[in-house]
A and B are shown apart, each in its own frame.
Chain A
Amino acid sequence: MFRIQTEPISPMPMEHDGAGGFVTFEGKVRNRNDGQPVLRLEYEAYAPMAESEGEKILNEAKSVFGLLEVKACHRVGVLEIGETAVWIGVASPHRGDAFRACAFVIDEIKRRVPIWKKEHYVSGPSEWIGCHQSDLVDSSHELYRRQTVLPEVGADGQAKLSAAKVLVVGAGGLGSASLPYLAAAGIGTIGICDGDQVELSNLHRQVLYAYGDNGLPKASVAATRLRRQNPYISVVEINNHLTAENGEELVGEFDVILDGTDNFATKFLLNDLCVRLGRPLIQASLHQFEGQIMVVDPASNGGCLRCIWPEAPYDGCVGTCAEAGVLGILPGAFGVLQANEVIKVILGMEGVLHSELLTLDLRNYETNRIRRKKYQNCPNCGNGHATTDCLDLTAAEAFTNGYALLDIREPEEWEPIPILPGHRIPLSKPAELRQFVGENQPCVLVCQRGMRSAALVRELRGFGIEVYSLIGGISSL
């Protein structure tokens, strides 16, 4: 609970049997400010908004740091030297989280809660100063000065950056590198979408996170870091993975999308959504010491990811970072290149990789630029084809949604031991198949590698049936 009060603050009781660490903070009125002796301080708050914003901060701290309890209050009225102006108490199973949460809460209160103060000096009172704005007075111009002198940026360009909304999907290695530069450049709204928690094995490449962040939600930690880095921008955290269900709404909210994901399923989902919604997508993929970067811009003729690979390859066919290994610097290099493309797209600059794929190998600095164009049979960009409608699901998505599974392989392909709990109707019995999918919507079709099921899904969707294809088929399980 967050309280604004006129009476003197006394520490609130904090008790919790599950807490191993209690940390409290008291902010007091001190006798000097800016080299001048201070007699007393006066605080004023817009109480309803201050209390609701304060409450929000406490809830954020609770979820980010896994707190058991958190309380705070702020005094208003005239305060003498040595009196307590703000009090915060947190309780957490471990001391590290308690210390960090306490620092987070006071920083965010100072930054966001509408409280004003007036300092009474010997020489007379000062003006009212917004505590939440005191650090921000007129410094944004200074913040971007070194880039606004560039003729390609200028005041107009800076205004475009600050009006832009950029969504970074995946706050891993690529996101760690791109996010701080996007924030530093003054992108007005940055969305961070990631449902994962920080793990120790991430830290050699995901440099947004510190050792002590282990186990905390990535999107929240990243958002807090960016808000401190640049208080002029708005950072939206989405503590979920991008899925076929939330994807359209999410992507639709932003102007430019940066793909920082590490699996084919999400890369292709994001590609399809961006083409359909007309959003430029900055895409990068990595392997050990080398990577590829390209821009999918539906307004260009360069085509999309499916123009190169019409069917999404199944995850596991080439190894992920976890299996194949990756040099920590590689996502750093590529994430920075992605941020560069984001800024070029927003500024409308030349040289965007919308019709090329750029490869770079950090072992020997070999680069390749391969020209891309729309592929006539691409399910997204091809002639006369409607765009695919997120036809593919991963096994995890299929199972968590509880959709019926239907194995469409021929009997001779069936393993001796049934590995799927679902039903089996081979592709060679189309009438039976049609009837089943019609009566069991939505269901997920499964074949050996996901090719036949995807083709059938496309056909069935034409009849308005809600049906999905398991990416990579049985081979991906």
Chain B
Amino acid sequence: MTVFVTYFAILREQRGLNREQIETRASTYRDFYGELQERHGFTLKVDLIKAADRGEFVDLDSTISEGADIVFIPPVAGG
């Protein structure tokens, strides 16, 4: 399945880009993040990440569907 993924803040820094198109066999957002974490060495544990798909927050354990446009949002504190 092909999905789009957008990164924010520290994830963008660690990935080195804003957005990409990826082939994945992960079924949930949690598994997908795990794949990316392994590939790119993301330091944030999955419990600290929020996922949104097509402009809506989603449960990490829900199923990814075709055409997903996923945003991974780490917590941000600065001010």
Contact = CB atoms under 8 A, between A and B. Distances in A.
Contact of B78 (A313, A320, A364, A369): A320
A286 B57 contact: no
A319 B18 contact: no
Contacts, number: 86
27 contacts: A170-B79, A261-B79, A262-B78, A264-B75, A285-B75, A285-B77, A287-B8, A287-B9, A287-B10, A288-B9, A288-B13, A309-B50, A313-B77, A317-B48, A317-B75, A318-B9, A318-B10, A318-B44, A321-B78, A321-B79, A326-B78, A364-B18, A366-B18, A368-B55, A370-B71, A371-B56, A372-B57
Given A308-B50, A370-B57, A370-B71, A319 B10 contact: yes
A462 B57 CA distance: 31
B50 A262 contact: no
B55 A263 contact: no
B23 to A, nearest CB: 23
Contacts of B77: 262-264, 267, 285, 313, 315, 318, 320
Contacts of A381: none
A: contact size bracket: 35 or more
Q: Most B CB atoms within 10 A — which of A259, A286, A370?
A: A370
Interface of A: 170, 172-174, 259-264, 267, 284-288, 290-292, 308-309, 313, 315, 317-321, 324, 326, 331, 359, 361, 364, 366, 368-373
A260 B78 contact: no
B51 to A, nearest CB: 10
B interface: dominant SS: mixed
Interface string B52-73: 1001110000000000000101
Contacts of B9: 287-288, 290, 318
A133 B44 CA distance: 58
B6 interface: yes
Given A290-B8, A318-B44, A371 B57 contact: yes
